[in-house]
């Protein structure tokens, strides 16, 4: 029985009927400062005050070699930022080595540009509260260039499109001030990355082409508190890690990764949450190292590699006294909770590794595992694991999951119009979840779980889903 109707939100539908110029610019006001040349733009920036809105006329602007558009010592306020916007979205193309170069500035918004520069764009540590919104990023494919490097606190990157990269390098990398020395290095705090579209990274090397990297090995214990939410990743094939986390206390949720080589990897760091993500028809899913993470409500389907890896370590735990070289090793997965995930029709479902230090004290509960061949669980050595009320189904063997940690029953899945397999009426997964803590309040669709919770990422309901796999209409420069 099909239980849901796939509905696009009325906000997205209404958005399509509104002219892009209206969406970008709003009503003209006395704060608008129209400019039509690079010289006028620089002059307007130099004289900008809080609340000013510098509107750049459509056209292609080539910044001379060795030069840039400088934003230095300019400070808006949270209520009245200084905004630099293209007259129409995508209508201003910036070429040359560099575009905007920021320093000692705060509460600056840059919106609507098509960036075609050949050198990195940096949000330096001397800045704060910088926002990049509704831009199109396609830098020149030269060298191993990371396109946007964030070293400042409170940066917001939303509703942009990053696309068509053929070399090593990362679309967005979170770094920070200071050195990479583990005892002194810190990561930038409170980076927000949401409603962006990342597509078509075709670098064929073994690694070095992530879409997003949060941190660096030497700063892995730093509390970054980044949030990566509601982003769409398509054909991101530059690295086995589409989202690579190398810092602590981050949230990766409600993203869709489709047809991509890479997955979500908690490579270094502790205390991060990976929740409510769709990873569909790609290669790898979720891989976990470090301590005290929560992995909940994720939907992993049609992956040709490993759907979920509970990592072993070359070290038990990273610590502040390590050298940078030691920090690059794998930290065994310890004290992690893996709950309410759906792993459906993947080549390899739930697997382990065989490094020196085995994962310890991991809870694997209330997950739904379905496959037609191979083994559903193929763990290496473990210690102190809790396996509880998981449901297994399909022609694949159970593998080495301990008896008592699962039931085998047909979950009675039905495919919705959005392609997602969800529980149907009468499924034995309904009300069968047993893990009490930590509480998982809702499911991948946004339905409240209540007291009688279901196994897997989906909580059975008859109302339309509030969340669904993202499409290009949900993200990028024209998103609501």
Q: Residue 20 pLDDT > 90, yes or no?
A: no
Q: What is the DSSP letter of 386?
A: E
CB 193 within 8 A of CB 158: yes
Q: How many domains does the chain have?
A: 1
For residue 336, the domain's CATH number is: 2.160.20.10
pLDDT above 90 as % of the chain = 85
Q: What digits encode the pLDDT tens for the residues 50-82?
A: 999 999 999 999 999 999 999 999 999 999 999
Q: Which domain holds residue 217?
A: 10-30+159-474
Residue 120 has pLDDT above 50, yes or no: yes
**CA 362/CA 122 separation, integer angstroms:** 39
pLDDT digits (tens, 9 = 90+) for 288-319: 999 999 999 999 999 999 999 999 999 999 98
Is pLDDT above 90 for 184? no
Assigned domain for 111 exists: no
Residue 28 has pLDDT above 90, yes or no: no
| Least confident stretch, 230-234, 252-256, 315-319 | 315-319
Position 395 in a domain: yes
Give the contacts of 237 (CB within 8 A, at least 6 positions apart).
Answer: 201, 202, 203, 204, 209, 260, 261, 262
116 lies in a domain?
Answer: no
Answer whether residue 182 is part of any domain: yes
**Residue-level pLDDT at 324:** 78
Average pLDDT on 120-149 reads: 96
**Contact status, residue 390 vs residue 365, Cβ threshold 8 Å:** yes
Cα atoms in the 13 Å half-sphere on the side-chain side of 86: 24
Query: Does residue 163 carry a pLDDT above 90?
Result: yes
Q: Is the pLDDT of residue 478 over 50?
A: yes
- Give the pair of three-digit tokens for residue 247: 């810092």
pLDDT in tens, 81-91: 999 999 999 99
Can you tell me the distance from the alpha carbon of 286 to that of 288, in angstroms, rounded to the nearest whole number? 7
pTM over 0.75: yes
Stretch 313-334: mean pLDDT, rounded? 89
Is residue 125 domain-resident? no
Q: How confident is the model at residue 185 (pLDDT cuts 50, 70, 90)?
A: low
Contacts of 39 (CB under 8 A, 6+ apart): none
Q: In what order do the strands lie in the sheet with 263-268?
A: 121-123, 148-150, 172-174, 212-215, 241-246, 263-268, 286-288, 306-310, 348-352, 375-378, 397-399
Q: Is residue 328 part of a domain?
A: yes
**What's the whole-number mean pLDDT along residues 94-103?**
98
């Amino acid at each position: 029985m099909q239980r849901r109707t796939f509905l696009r939100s009325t906000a997205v539908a209404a958005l399509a009927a509104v002219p892009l110029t209206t969406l970008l610019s709003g009503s003209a006001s006395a704060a608008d400062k129209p400019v039509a040349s690079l010289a006028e733009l620089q002059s307007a920036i130099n004289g900008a005050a809080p609340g000013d809105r510098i509107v750049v006329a459509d056209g292609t602007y080539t910044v001379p070699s060795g030069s840039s558009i400088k934003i230095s010592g300019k400070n808006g306020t949270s209520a009245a930022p200084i905004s630099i916007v293209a007259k129409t979205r995508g209508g201003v193309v910036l070429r040359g080595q560099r575009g905007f170069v920021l320093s000692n500035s705060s509460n600056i918004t840059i919106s609507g540009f098509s960036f075609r520069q050949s050198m990195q764009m940096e949000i330096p540590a001397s800045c704060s509260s910088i926002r990049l919104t509704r831009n199109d990023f396609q830098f020149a494919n030269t060298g191993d260039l990371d396109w946007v490097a964030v070293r400042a606190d409170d940066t917001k990157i939303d509703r942009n499109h990053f696309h068509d990269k053929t070399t090593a390098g990362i679309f967005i990398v979170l770094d920070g001030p200071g050195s990479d020395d583990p005892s002194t290095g810190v990561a930038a705090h409170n980076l927000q990355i949401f409603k962006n579209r990342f597509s078509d990274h075709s670098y064929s090397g073994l690694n070095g082409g992530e879409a997003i990297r949060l941190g660096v090995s030497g700063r892995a214990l730093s509390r970054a508190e980044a949030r990566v939410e509601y982003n769409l990743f398509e054909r991101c094939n530059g690295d086995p890690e589409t989202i690579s986390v190398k810092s602590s206390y981050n949230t990766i949720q409600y993203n869709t990764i489709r047809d991509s080589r890479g997955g979500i990897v908690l490579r270094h760091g502790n205390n991060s949450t990976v929740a409510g993500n769709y990873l569909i028809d790609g290669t790898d899913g979720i891989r976990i190292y470090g301590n005290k993470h929560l992995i909940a409500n994720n939907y992993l389907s049609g992956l040709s590699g490993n759907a979920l890896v509970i990592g072993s370590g070359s070290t038990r735990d990273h610590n502040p006294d390590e050298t940078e070289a030691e920090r690059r090793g794998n930290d065994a997965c310890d004290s992690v909770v893996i709950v309410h995930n759906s792993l459906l029709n993947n080549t390899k479902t739930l697997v382990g590794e065989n490094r020196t230090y085995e994962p310890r004290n991991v809870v694997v509960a209330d997950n739904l595992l379905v496959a037609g061949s191979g083994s559903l669980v193929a763990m290496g050595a473990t210690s102190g694991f809790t396996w509880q009320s998981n449901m297994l189904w399909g022609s694949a063997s159970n593998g080495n999951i301990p008896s008592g940690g699962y039931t085998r029953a047909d979950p009675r899945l039905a495919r919705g119009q959005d392609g997602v397999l969800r529980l149907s009426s009468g499924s034995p997964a309904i009300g069968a979840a047993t893990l009490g803590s930590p509480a998982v309040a809702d499911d991948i669709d946004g339905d409240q779980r209540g007291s009688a919770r279901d196994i897997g990422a989906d909580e059975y309901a008859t109302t339309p889903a509030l969340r669904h796999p993202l499409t290009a209409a949900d993200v990028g420069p024209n998103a609501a």
